Structure 1
Amino acid sequence: MTQGTNEEEDLREFVKFSAAVTGFSEFDLWGTGQAEAYYKTVVEQERPDVIQRALTSDPSATSADPVVKSIIKLWYVGVWYGPELAGRMDVAAWTAPGRSGAKPAVPDDSRPGEESGHGMDERKPLFVVSPEAYTEGLLWRAIGAHPSGAKAPGYGSWANPPVFENFHEEKVS
């Protein structure tokens, strides 16, 4: 992301920044197996100066930055929402495209030959990064659930209330 550094170092910096803005540890983010795919997605979709500005800013003050919002959503749901969609999240568009008449808010394909505002013809405003991105989304850990039909405990697991991993009730004496 910065000139003169290597991709491995940039990937580590990306994960470090992502940990700060998602609220999950670097260990948790590496554990998703999606760090490299997400890093490459951001690099392919945004200009280097835009990425650099986002990654070098104070994480607590970046929630208004559309690229940072896109990175956060990427980690949570496995979908790249381009900055033009940063303020919007159409859940039906990524949870069940085609089901119950739900259609994505933005087409999955870029319009060939049409220039985006960033000078990149191949930029896509909304797409799922990888098949594993859905099941590895931080969303599931955050709500204490499993992606329906994709991970253990399996069929019928949604009938039970979620269990939060690091939740400890305080005992009042």
Structure 2
Amino acid sequence: MTHTATTEEKIREFVKFSATVTGFSEFDLWGTGQAEAYYETVVDREGADALQQAISSDPSAVAADPVVKSIIKLWYVGVWYGPELTGRVDVAAWTAPGRSGAKPAVPDDSQPEESLRRQATPGQRQHGQDRAGDNDERTPPFVVSPDAYTEGLLWRAIGAHPSGAKAPGYGSWANPPTLENH
């Protein structure tokens, strides 16, 4: 009888892998509260097979894998930049006026979230194609969850606090910053 991993086991494996590629401990990653949301995002956007391939790839090749680069960015800034956007950003798509018929500069509440992302079943996508199978237009980057920005590893890595959230307190500007040893 073969053992099929449960979703919980797959998330644990994802966090263990993420700890390796981000340089933060599994404890730190679980502490963000984002593990499940990030796992679901990767599986939804790239498919379970692409994630498993990234996790089980040769450690020397991991840094070159575009899915791995997207996972690292996801943990650090809380934004999903699909592999197709690794290394480049379509500035025109993000600076276009919101209601001119072009893609909105920032997703707004007037459009259901599901209409902003192309939907298809996991695994339907081939690397370099969008989930619907055509190459011409990709899903723009998006913030994965309401807490993703404030929980990004970026803030801990640079010894800062996210603007507008987790303020260090009144008068804290008078003290020099302290950096954690990572």
* TM-score, structure 1 normalization: 0.74
| Higher relative contact order, structure no. (Cα contacts within 8 Å, ≥ 6 residues apart) | 2
Compared with structure 1, are the counterparts of its residues 145 and 9 closer, same or farther at alpha carbon in structure 2 (3 Å cutoff)?
A: same
Q: Which consecutive residues of structure 1, in runs of 5 or more, have no partner in the other structure? A: 99-103, 168-173
Pick from 121, 124, 128 the counterpart of residue 132 of structure 2: 121
Cα distance in 1 for partners of 2:78, 2:173 equals 21
Q: Which consecutive residues of structure 2, in runs of 5 or more, have no partner in the other structure? A: 98-102, 108-115
Aligned: 1:145 with 2:160: yes
**Deviation string, structure 1 residues 68-100 (Cα, Å, up to 9, x no partner):** 00000000000000010112369xx99xxx9xx
Which residue number in structure 2 is paired with residue 26 of structure 1?
Answer: 26
Residue 57 of structure 1: how far off its partner (Å):
1.4
**Deviation string, structure 1 residues 49-82 (Cα, Å, up to 9, x no partner):** 2111101113443111110000000000000000
Answer whether contact 1:112 1:121 (CA < 8 A) is retained.
yes
Cα distance in 1 for partners of 2:125, 2:19 equals 29
**Deviation string, structure 1 residues 97-141 (Cα, Å, up to 9, x no partner):** x9xxxxx9x87534689x975462397341000110000000000
Cα distance in 1 for partners of 2:171, 2:163 equals 9
Which residue number in structure 1 is paired with residue 5 of structure 2?
Answer: 5
Which residue number in structure 1 is paired with residue 67 of structure 2?
Answer: 67
Which residue number in structure 2 is paired with residue 39 of structure 1?
Answer: 39
Which residue number in structure 1 is paired with residue 147 of structure 2?
Answer: 132
Answer whether contact 1:79 1:127 (CA < 8 A) is retained.
yes
Equivalenced residues, count = 155
1:57 partner SS: coil
Cα distance in 2 for partners of 1:111, 1:165 equals 40
Amino acid at match of 1:141: R
Answer whether contact 1:21 1:60 (CA < 8 A) is retained.
no
Cα distance in 2 for partners of 1:28, 1:155 equals 26
Structural RMSD (CA): 3.6
Answer whether contact 2:150 2:165 (CA < 8 A) is retained.
yes
